[in-house]
Structure 1
Amino acid sequence: MRKTIQTLKGVVFVAGKGKECANSECEYFGQHYLACGVLKYSLPKSTYGLDILAFIGWQHEHEHQQLVEIQRQLNQRGIEINERNVGKLYRQFLALLGGTIIHTQEKLTATALEHGGLIWAIDALQPEGHGTLLYVLYEVLSGIPVSAVQLQQAQVQGLIEWLQPYKELPYKILATLSDGESAIITAMNSSWPDAAHQRCQAHFLSNLSESVLPLDTKLRQQLKADLDGLPKVPDYSERLQDQSQQQQPQSSPLFQQSPICHETHS
C-alpha cells in the first residue's frame, strides 16, 4: 500500500506492505492483513492525516465552527479539501471517539467490580493563555479520565447537564471528590445525592500552605540571622586533623643520655 497523505505539517508519502496468511491449516488462511504502521498516520483508504481529523473535531466541538469555516481554515493552511470531505472526516472523528468511550466503559466496569463502585472527581483547569475553564471528570480508583468540558465560568446548570450521561451509568457511586468551588459541589451533589462528598486533600493542603508559607519564610530568615552570629563549625577534614594531632604520641630520641658513673678508688 502506497499513498500520499496531507497533514497539518505538510505532505508525506507512506508505504506499507500487507501480508496474507499462507498457512493452509490456519482458520485465517488467505486473509489479508494491512500494514498497521501506516495506520499511525491515517485511516485506511484515507489520504488525510489523523491530525487533520483531530483538528476538525476540535474546531467543530469546542470552537463551534461550521464545516465550511473549518474548510477555509484548512485551505489557508495549504490543505486541499472541500466541505463535503470535511463532513466525512468529522464523522470518522466521531467514530474514533465512540471507540474510546466503549473502552473506557469496560475499564469502569472492571473497577466497579473490584471495589464495589466508583468515585467520581472533577478538577477545574485553566489552559495557559485561555480565558475559559476546562472541567475534567475522572474516576479516582482507576485514574481514568472520562470526559471534559469547556465553560466560560462555573455554572451549576451547565455542569449538571454535562454530568447527566454519567449519572445514568449503571454503577454504584461510593463518593464524589472536588475542590472547594461551590458550583462543582452543588452539581455533584445534585447528580449523585446519595454519595458522600469530600474536598480534595491536595487542594485543601495547598490552600493551607498559602497562609503558612509567609510565616515559614519569616521564621527561616530569623533562624539564619541568629545562626550567622555563631562561630564557624569546623568541617570534617579539620576535625580529622585535630584528632590525629591529639592521638599522636610525642617522639623520643633514639639514644638517651644516661648518667656517667665514675668509679672511685679508695
Structure 2
Amino acid sequence: MIEKKPRHRPQRYFPDAKRIIVKCERELCIHCNTILVSLPSWHMRKTIQTLNGAVFVAGKGKECANSQCEYFGKHYLACGVLKYSLPQSTYGLDVLAFIGWQHEHEHQQLVEIQRLLKQRGVEINERNVGKLYRQFLALLGGTIAHTQEKLAATAHEHGGLIWAIDALQPEGHGTLLYVLYEVLSGTPVSGIQLQQAQAQRLIEWLQPYKELPFTVLATLSDGESAIIAAMNSSWSNAPHQRCQAHFLSNLSESVLPLDTKLRQQLKADLDGLPQVPDRSERLLHPNQLRQPDSSPLF
C-alpha cells in the first residue's frame, strides 16, 4: 500500500519586501460622528507578489469608543488593503489583471503566462495561474449569492454600505481594470475592463448594484472624474469622499523631486566633514585622542 504524502507547499521568503501599513481611512464613526480610535493590532497582514516586486501589506483598523453609540465597539477595517490583492490571496491585483489580459486578449496559454510572470520576477506555478484566472473571471462576473449575503449582513451591522472603486492599469497603459468593493466588510464585488475611462459605461456597470436593497452611507474613489461622475449618478444621496491614500500620494508627486534635491544637497555638504569616531575606536586608541592645550596664553 502506497502511503499518500501531504502536498508540498513551497516556502517563499521576501526579506527585501517593501512594507506598507494601511490605516482605516475613516476618521469619524458613521453613526455618531465620534472620533474613531485605532486598534492596537493589525486585522490582516501578508506578503504579496506584484509585477513591481514583493510588498508586505498590513491593515490597521479603528473602532467607535463612544459608549453611548448604538454601534459602540464596532470595528472599521482598513479597506485600502484591497487595492493590493484579493482576500486570502498572496498575489497582487496587477498580477490578476495581467493574467486576464494575456489570456483574453493576447490568447496566451496558462503555461506561457506563467513563463512571462517568472521573467518578471513573480514566483508562481501553472496551477496558481489557472486559479488566479478563475478569480479574474469571478471578479468580472459580478456579485453572487454568497456576496449578497455578506453585503446584507454588513448593512444590518452598520446600517448601510460604503462603496469604493479603484482603477488599475496592469501594463501601465492601455486597458483599465475597475474594481468595485464594499469598504466596511472589505468585500470585492465586481470588476470591469475598459479601454478608457467612460462615465456612462461605469454607470451601466453599477446599475445592478444600485438596485440592491441596501442603504448607501457614502462612496469612495481615487479622484478620477469618470468614477466620481458615475458614483454620484448611481448614488446621488450618498456623500462622496476622495481616498486619503490616493490624495497623499498625489501630493507627494510634487514634493518628492524637491525632497530628492534637498537630500542630494545635504549629502554633498556633509560628505566633506570628518567622520566622528565611534566608541569602540576611542576605547582602542585612547592615546590618540586630542589632549587639551596646556601652553601659556602669553
Q: Which has the higher helix share?
A: 1
| Structure with larger RCO (C-alpha < 8 A, sep 6+) | 2
SS at match of 1:146: strand
Q: Which residue of 195, 198, 219 corresponds with 2:262? A: 219
Correspondences of 1:118-137 after superposition (within 5 Å) = 118-128=161-171, 131-137=174-180
Instruction: Find the aligned partners of 1:150 and 1:208 in 2 and give their Cα distance.
Output: 28
1:232 is the counterpart of 2:255: no
Instruction: Find the aligned partners of 1:129 and 1:226 in 2 and give their Cα distance.
Output: 38
| Cα distance, 1:187 vs structure 2 | 0.5
User: Aligned residue for 1:102?
Assistant: 145
Contact 2:174 2:196 in 1 (8 A): no
Q: Which residue of 203, 210, 213 corresponds with 2:246? A: 203
SS at match of 1:174: strand
Using the TM superposition, name which of 230-239 and 210-219 deviates more.
230-239
Give 1:214's aligned amino acid.
P
Instruction: Find the aligned partners of 2:161 and 2:271 in 1 and give their Cα distance.
Output: 55
Q: Once the two structures are superposed, what CA deviation does each residue of 1:151-191 show, in whole Å capped at 9, x if it has no partner?
A: 11111111111000000111111110001211110000000
| Cα distance, 1:243 vs structure 2 | 6.3
Give unpaired runs (5+ residues) of structure 2: 1-99, 110-136, 290-298
Instruction: Find the aligned partners of 1:244 and 1:112 in 2 and give their Cα distance.
Output: 75
Aligned CA distance change for structure 1 residues 188 and 224 (closer, same or farther; 3 Å): same
Aligned CA distance change for structure 1 residues 167 and 212 (closer, same or farther; 3 Å): same
Q: Once the two structures are superposed, what CA deviation does each residue of 1:30-57 show, in whole Å capped at 9, x if it has no partner?
A: xxxxxxxxxxxxxxxxxxxxxxxxxxxx
Q: Once the two structures are superposed, what CA deviation does each residue of 1:110-131 show, in whole Å capped at 9, x if it has no partner?
A: 1112222111000111122772
Q: Once the two structures are superposed, what CA deviation does each residue of 1:12-35 show, in whole Å capped at 9, x if it has no partner?
A: xxxxxxxxxxxxxxxxxxxxxxxx
Give 1:194's aligned amino acid.
N
Moved beyond 2 Å, runs of 4+: 127-131, 239-246
User: Aligned residue for 1:252?
Assistant: none
SS at match of 1:195: coil
Instruction: Find the aligned partners of 1:245 and 1:129 in 2 and give their Cα distance.
Output: 59
Aligned CA distance change for structure 1 residues 116 and 148 (closer, same or farther; 3 Å): same
Give % identity: 80
Instruction: Find the aligned partners of 1:146 and 1:126 in 2 and give their Cα distance.
Output: 19
| Cα distance, 1:199 vs structure 2 | 0.6
| Cα distance, 1:242 vs structure 2 | 5.3
Aligned CA distance change for structure 1 residues 235 and 101 (closer, same or farther; 3 Å): same
Give 2:223's aligned amino acid.
G
1:157 is the counterpart of 2:200: yes
Q: Which has the larger radius of gyration?
A: 1
Aligned CA distance change for structure 1 residues 211 and 164 (closer, same or farther; 3 Å): same
Q: TM-score normalised to the size of structure 2?
A: 0.48
SS at match of 1:206: helix
Instruction: Find the aligned partners of 1:125 and 1:166 in 2 and give their Cα distance.
Output: 21
Give 2:151's aligned amino acid.
L
Instruction: Find the aligned partners of 2:275 and 2:146 in 1 and give their Cα distance.
Output: 64
Give 1:118's aligned amino acid.
L
User: Aligned residue for 2:47?
Assistant: none
Give 2:226's aligned amino acid.
A
